[in-house]
Structure 1
């Protein structure tokens, strides 16, 4: 009996010891350490180095945040102080590449175009990241004919190594550039079309395919509706439109001679232009500038032509 009690007591001691040992066993990634081996500091938003700020559509003010991160086995046992500064050398290096490729150099952010919070950060003990600092920028203050950059770099890191790929962050404020709008997913329709395979495609979609040899053709069989003829484009999202280019049918100069443009921004159709002239004998793209504005649909209303039917080759929309 006495032997059994001793045995039970021995088991209890072992179980208690095991329980205490398990409670004290903290996973390596949660252990606090001041070791700097294999630990790095990085700017948390500096993936690929550059951050493109949204300048257009213009607004009075926009904001973005960034902070500092810690990477390593375990967690820091003490606070880590990190400091950033504007890095003119980084900007000079970037501009050497731009100039060599024939582009104008970046200009430093104008002093009245942004406000930035404290560039001294602290990663608290036991944590993997600092608080964030806010960059407030004012799109209307940037010259729309130039590109701007604000390069920041880590200059103090409490003795920790700094990840070289995320040591710098460069905020970019690029001037808006007019471009041909991507028509993927657009829906093209017409008041009528010859959609039985005659006259190449015959459909309104031919105006968006990038091929001058395919055309939209108004219906001529079994009926032949006359002017006005309309081709419409649902852009499926809102874009800031600045102009259009229209190409006539390449092998027939009897197309439309007068038209106007209309558009919508989620509501009713509104006139974008007064009646304009079109030359169906000029096989080049003919350009028509509108007052820049946000649209989700645009259409061309043809009012006169050289014969009852009408046709076109291509329709391009330009936008920022």
Structure 2
């Protein structure tokens, strides 16, 4: 009986030991003040240049936020104050790289274009990320033809090692640059289409927005043959800030149109002239670029006014590209 009692006590002690072991935090959950192998870094600094949203310009302020983080085995047992500052050395270093590659150097943020609510943050006890710094900026204060840089680096972290490769957040106010608008989801209609004589793809209005310069829209010529003017109407589904319209002719036939207008609309009913009496060379198979009166538009209409060969009633067009900010 005594033996059984001792056995029960032994099993009980073992169970208590196992329970205590299970209750103890895993190393990655334990709080510690050890700085061994701990690195403080700037969140978002590992994601490259942080481009601010400058366009469309607005009178009201926009904001950009970031903070500090720590990588360590476990969690900090005490709060970790972290200090940031504007980094002139990082600014100069990046500009040297730009100059050596033939780029125009960055400008500093204009003093009246931004404000920073604080430069001191704290990673809390048991936490891994700090509270956030907020950069408030006014897009209208930046010159749209210049690039601006604001580098903010960690300068101290309460004795913790600062990771040198990810200590700086590079905040950029980029210059406005045209880019090709995505045609995903767009639709096109026309004054007429040749649905029978040009195969399954060619002849249709959709061919001018399919991204393939070798397909083409053709006005109708079988059964009936409408005469000039002919038009293509592109619905971009959302308003974008249009800056340029490029046209490419049909690639295997240079007898297209030589003059056209470009119009824009926000509702498909009221149209505004963006370019008038523009000249086009249908024998030049490259895209031909036409800067237009810039502005927000949902619809773009290209109206072809005159054939290359007098007396020709029909027309065709290869592709329409639209550029935007």
Indicate the residue corresponding to 1:51 in structure 2: 50
Q: 2:230 touches 2:315 (CA, 8 Å); kept in 1?
A: yes
Contact 2:268/2:299 (8 A) holds in 1: no
Farther off after superposition, 190-199 or 25-34: 190-199
1:310 aligns to 2:315 (yes or no): yes
- With the length of structure 1 as denominator, give the TM-score of the two structures: 0.86
Cα distance, 1:14–1:103 mapped onto 2, change above 3 Å = closer
Correspondence 1:180-195 to 2 at 5 A: 180-195=180-195
Q: Count residues with an aligned counterpart.
A: 317
Matching residue of 2:126: 126
**Do the aligned residues in 1 keep the contact of 2:274 with 2:293 (CA within 8 Å)?**
no
Q: Mapping of 1:54-93 within 5 angstroms?
A: 54-60=53-59, 61-93=61-93
Give the TM-score normalised by structure 2.
0.85
Quote the Cα distance in structure 1 between the aligned partners of 2:262 and 2:313: 18
What is the CA-CA distance between 1:227 and the residue it aligns to?
A: 3.7
Deviations 1:27-60 (A, max 9, x none): 1111011211211111112123421111111122
Partner SS state of residue 140, structure 1: helix
Taking the TM superposition and a 5 Å limit, the aligned residue runs for 1:84-233 are 84-196=84-196, 198=198, 201-208=202-209, 214-233=215-234
- Is the CA contact (8 Å cut-off) linking 1:114 and 1:135 kept in structure 2? yes
8 Å CA contact retained: 1:262, 1:301? no
Unaligned 5+ residue runs, structure 2? none
Residues of 1 paired with 2:29 and 2:91: CA distance?
A: 39
Q: Which moved more, 1:67-76 or 1:267-276?
A: 267-276
Given that 1:262 and 1:269 are in contact with CA atoms closer than 8 Å, whether structure 2 keeps it comes out as no
Match of 2:241 in 1: 240
Bigger drift between 67-76 and 277-286 goes to: 277-286
The answer (yes or no) to whether the contact 1:65–1:134 under 8 Å persists in 2 is: yes
* Secondary structure class of the residue paired with 1:233: strand
